[in-house]
Amino acid sequence: MSRRRCRAPSTRAGSWGTRWRTPTGPPSPELDALLHGYGHEPIHVTGDDPVQIHRALAEAFDRALDTIAGIQRAARDSDGSGIGSGTGDEAGTGDEAGPGDGGAADGRPRWPVIVLRTPKGWTGPAEVDGKPVAGTWRAHQVPLSGVRDNPEHLRQLEAWLRSYRPEELFDAEGRPTADVLACVPEGAERLGATPHANGGLLTRTLPIPSLDNFAVPVDKPGATMHEPTRVLGGLLEQVMRDTADRRDFRLVGPDETASNRLDAVYDASGKAWQAQVLQVDEHLDRHGRTMEVLSEHLCQGWLEGYLLTGRHGLFSCYEAFVHIVDSMVNQHIKWLKTSRSLHWRAPIPSLNYLLTSHVWRQDHNGFSHQDPGFVDHVLNKSIEVVRIYLPPDANTLLSVTDHVLRTRDYVNVVVAGKQPCYDWLSMDQARVHCARGAGTWDWAGTENGDREPDVVLACAGDVPTQEVLAAAQLLRRHLPELAVRVVNVVDMTRLLPAADHPHGMSDFEYDGLFTTDKPVIFAYHGYPWLIHRLAYNRAGHDNLHVRGYKEMGTTTTPFDMVVQNDLDRYRLVMDVIDRVPGLAVRATGVRQRMADVRTRHHAWIREHGTDLPEVAEWSWTG
């Protein structure tokens, strides 16, 4: 790639050299210490003379780029691990670090960082209304605020703008002069055309193997259990393997890959690590594409930057702590929304979150680790960019992940458990269910098709799905004449009106699925009012009764978590009895039995420290 050199600017400064306050003193030793502490080698560019700074900054960039190139060369020479093409998509990601000049004791290189210090408000007015401005804190906002009413301000503004000598930059028609145009790069070197700034141009379709190779076999619902994220780990391992040469897929996470049971990926690509390796360490890899650091901020920053270069990734995170990056994802969503309206911007791979170790299973960690609100947060933003998935089991998690890894320009949030969970759907069933996003599970309900159901039990999320199925089974036994429909929702935006989201259901479909006049008891993974916020415009909204997490619970048994939040099977049966017309009086005995189990549960867990046998050993029998 040839670098075309522009002429250095003429000394336009005039009296600038004396006008600007010199940045005070030498570079701060504390700042250098801080940057060294972060593993960097600072390069300082300091001054107030534009020509000198221009040259010094160019030299600093040359030096920094040479240092980076040297580090990369050393890394490639020291082990021939198949990286070598030196394509742009590897530069500067830090994954090829090796011993370089000025490296740390353990052989890590010190990456350069440029510290540029020029006067604040450089080229602006030195004084306004008798007070110093350029080079001081006063230059931070609008330096000349009175140009409409204050002739002196207007005069200063004119002098400031004229100091750029526009007559040398533009011709009589206001066009840039030939000198200026000679500095404009051409073709792919233009800022808006270089693939370095428009990474979607470089995006290649991710190779995703057939899900059938990783699916768990399901002959009948609820007969087996798997850890959904562990099953997903198999798929991700293969994606890692199939991108070994292309190196365009990474898994990032706050030191939780193994905790989130995705550790199969280590067999294909270890944890990126350039420092000392101890004998007990495992899965550390100088070229690893599993990126772990206990900082959600760094994870988010790494992945955002990586996606902007056109490559693919997945951020796996404890559900509660992804709020740490709320503010960062806001800006990425704003960027995507705006970017999608610019025809020349090529779509980039979506920002994919896998939220696990979720609110319902914090047996060890407790209240501080319970927060399902990230879904609410992102749904507030530009909603056309956002997708939310709550797969209820292993195969649906495979299907959803397969989908989100193929999408572009979205923020996809997938919430799934890592604890053993019943397998409800075969891979084929999972595929159609996830494509549909929501649907009835005929095998779980007791409709016979000759009339509308008496009640709809809806669920979204793995734990709510299990509770709804257990409730359906209790209703089947205790109130066999009741026509119960079970609806599972995977794609939360299906609940939105069709006009509000590309996935939104038409009213025809929604009214058919949920009815317009029957009670709907909805067991949701997160804050219950989110369902009302999505469905408030629907005809049947007044009949919608939602159970979900309401900031109850602590370090306790899994079932006690749902009891404390009124999401448990017994409470759901009581809700049905309370809301189906005519049932309250007739089924009061059943209701009472349900309430009694909750009471026995309370005493039992205190005595035994485990859940009631009928809960712990529950399984779906149809």
Binding site for a second copy (CB under 8 A): 24, 29-39, 104-105, 131-132, 136-138, 141, 259, 278, 280-281, 320-321, 323-324, 326-327, 330-331, 334, 337-338, 367-368, 371, 373, 376-377, 380-383, 527, 529-530, 532-533, 536, 541-542, 551
DSSP code, position 286: T
In whole angstroms, the minimum distance from the beta carbon of 596 to a second copy comes to 25
Residue written as tokens 């530009």? Answer: 382
Q: Smaller CB distance to a second copy: residue 138 or 547?
A: 138
Distance (Å, whole) CA 568 – CA 560:
9
Bridge partners, 487 (sequence order): 440, 458
Q: Smaller CB distance to a second copy: residue 40 or 241?
A: 40
Distance (Å, whole) CA 269 – CA 251:
10
CB 426 within 8 A of CB 398: no
Give backbone dihedrals phi and psi of 5, rounded to 5 degrees, phi first: -90, 130
Q: Smaller CB distance to a second copy: residue 265 or 546?
A: 546
Q: Smaller CB distance to a second copy: residue 315 or 527?
A: 527
Both tokens of residue 526?
């997160």
User: How many residues make up the chain in this entry?
Assistant: 622
In whole angstroms, the minimum distance from the beta carbon of 232 to a second copy comes to 21
In whole angstroms, the minimum distance from the beta carbon of 548 to a second copy comes to 11
In whole angstroms, the minimum distance from the beta carbon of 540 to a second copy comes to 12
In whole angstroms, the minimum distance from the beta carbon of 536 to a second copy comes to 5
E-strand stretches of 221-363: 225-226, 249-253, 271-272, 284-285, 290-292, 312-318, 351-356
Distance (Å, whole) CA 374 – CA 330:
11
Distance (Å, whole) CA 421 – CA 331:
35
In whole angstroms, the minimum distance from the beta carbon of 377 to a second copy comes to 6
Chain mean position to CA 135: 40
Q: Smaller CB distance to a second copy: residue 79 or 551?
A: 551
Q: Smaller CB distance to a second copy: residue 319 or 491?
A: 319
Our separate counts of H helices and E strands in the chain read 20, 19
Give the residue ranges of DSSP H helices in 139-177: 151-162, 166-169
Helix axes 569-579, 588-608, angle to 10 degrees: 160
Bridge partners, 421 (sequence order): 226
In whole angstroms, the minimum distance from the beta carbon of 29 to a second copy comes to 7
Residue written as tokens 């891979």? Answer: 427
In whole angstroms, the minimum distance from the beta carbon of 81 to a second copy comes to 24
Q: Smaller CB distance to a second copy: residue 39 or 195?
A: 39
Both tokens of residue 142?
């609008």
Q: Smaller CB distance to a second copy: residue 383 or 572?
A: 383
The beta-carbon contacts of 443-451 under 8 Å, at least 24 apart in sequence, are 443/221, 443/622, 444/221, 444/468, 444/469, 444/472, 444/486, 445/472, 445/483, 445/484, 445/485, 445/486, 446/472, 446/475, 446/476, 446/480, 446/482, 446/483, 446/484, 447/483, 447/484, 447/485, 448/483, 451/483
Write out the DSSP string of 405-457.
HH-BS-EEEEE---S-EE--S-HHHHHHHHHHSEEE-GGGS---SSS--SEEE
Q: For the CA atoms of 133, 138, 143, 148, what is the dihedral angle to 10 degrees?
A: -110
Q: Smaller CB distance to a second copy: residue 317 or 427?
A: 317
Q: Smaller CB distance to a second copy: residue 81 or 331?
A: 331
Q: Smaller CB distance to a second copy: residue 378 or 434?
A: 378
Q: Smaller CB distance to a second copy: residue 212 or 281?
A: 281
In whole angstroms, the minimum distance from the beta carbon of 539 to a second copy comes to 10
